[in-house]
Structure 1
Amino acid sequence: MKPYSDDLRERVMAACAEGGRSVGAVAAQFRVSVSFVHKLRRRQRTTGSLAALPHRGGPAPLLDAAARAELAACVARQPDATLDELRGRLTAAGAPAVGRTTVWQALQALDLRRKKRVSTPPSATPSG
């Protein structure tokens, strides 16, 4: 979710500074939450700034670069391996034990897809 603009933050604080209006009325006027107004007022009081904090990037990935390289090598060796098989091979190679979702997300980040093995021989009948 994107942070509120600096312009909106300044207008909310100007409305709060006018006096005689409740925090709930200011929040309703600008269609923001009451907690946002409270946090904005506290931020101005403590730091003197209304600017949004920079994005912190989220949690660190569970599989590091070495584990992702090992995952890519496993997929290259056996393209039709299931997520559980890949999990087992990663754990055997020394990577941390992770869930199927983590392996799937790492495969997506590496832009790798599961290549299904054809279970029946191709038809001898010519198509056309």
Structure 2
Amino acid sequence: MKAYSVDLRKKIVAAHLVEKMSIRKVATRFLVSKSLVQKLVKQQRFEGSLQPKPRGKPQFSYLTNRETEVREMVGEHPDATLVELCELFAQKTGHSVSRAAMCRCLQKLELPRKKNMVQSPSGDRKSPKIKSRVLGKN
């Protein structure tokens, strides 16, 4: 659900503080809950603003502001999988990240994830080369 507009919030608070209406009457008049009216009045008193607060919690990643290190890793290991890049990042920085976080970072940096292709004798490109280290075979 979207936040109520600042204009509506101001009208609700003004009805309670200026017009001296009770919180219940204000809630009935504007078709909102009593707790919303209480929350807006309290926010106006303590913060002096009726701007809606940001929703959700902030996202944190160890990859934030590490674009140059990620670019270097991909440059040094162009055929590394996401798991291998995560392991390299953990060795380099001491912080582990998930495959999904690494994938989002690479997409943000517009780095390709295409692997080397096997070329047949006729010159056609076939399926990607599967390396034994990826499959866990020696």
TM-score, normalised on structure 2?
A: 0.62
SS across alignment from 2:113: coil
State the Cα distance separating 1:99 from its structure 2 match.
Answer: 1.6
Structure 1 or 2: more strand by fraction: 2
The residue identity in structure 2 corresponding to 1:62 is Y
Aligned to 2:28: 25
Percentage of matched positions with identical amino acids: 32
Q: Is the 8 A contact 2:23 2:38 kept in 1?
A: no
User: Does 1:83 pair with 2:86?
Assistant: no
Instruction: Quote the Cα distance in structure 2 between the aligned partners of 1:24 and 1:107.
Output: 49
Instruction: Quote the Cα distance in structure 1 between the aligned partners of 2:70 and 2:104.
Output: 12
Q: Is the 8 A contact 1:12 1:26 kept in 2?
A: no
Aligned to 1:9: 9
Q: Is the 8 A contact 1:43 1:50 kept in 2?
A: yes
Measured at CA, do residues 76 and 90 of structure 1 come closer, stay the same or move farther in structure 2, by a change above 3 Å?
same
State the Cα distance separating 1:104 from its structure 2 match.
Answer: 1.7
User: Does 1:110 pair with 2:109?
Assistant: yes
State the Cα distance separating 1:125 from its structure 2 match.
Answer: 7.5
User: Does 1:121 pair with 2:92?
Assistant: no
Instruction: Quote the Cα distance in structure 2 between the aligned partners of 1:24 and 1:4.
Output: 14
Q: Is the 8 A contact 1:75 1:81 kept in 2?
A: yes
TM-score, normalised on structure 1?
A: 0.66
Structure 2 portions without partners, runs of 5+: 125-138
Q: Give the superposed CA RMSD.
A: 3.4
How many pairs are equivalent? 119
Q: Is the 8 A contact 1:83 1:103 kept in 2?
A: yes
The residue identity in structure 1 corresponding to 2:39 is K
State the Cα distance separating 1:85 from its structure 2 match.
Answer: 0.5
- Higher RCO (C-alpha 8 Å, min separation 6): 1
Measured at CA, do residues 26 and 102 of structure 1 come closer, stay the same or move farther in structure 2, by a change above 3 Å?
farther
Map 1:40-59 → 2, pairs under 5 A: 40-47=40-47, 49-52=48-51, 58-59=58-59
State the Cα distance separating 1:89 from its structure 2 match.
Answer: 0.9
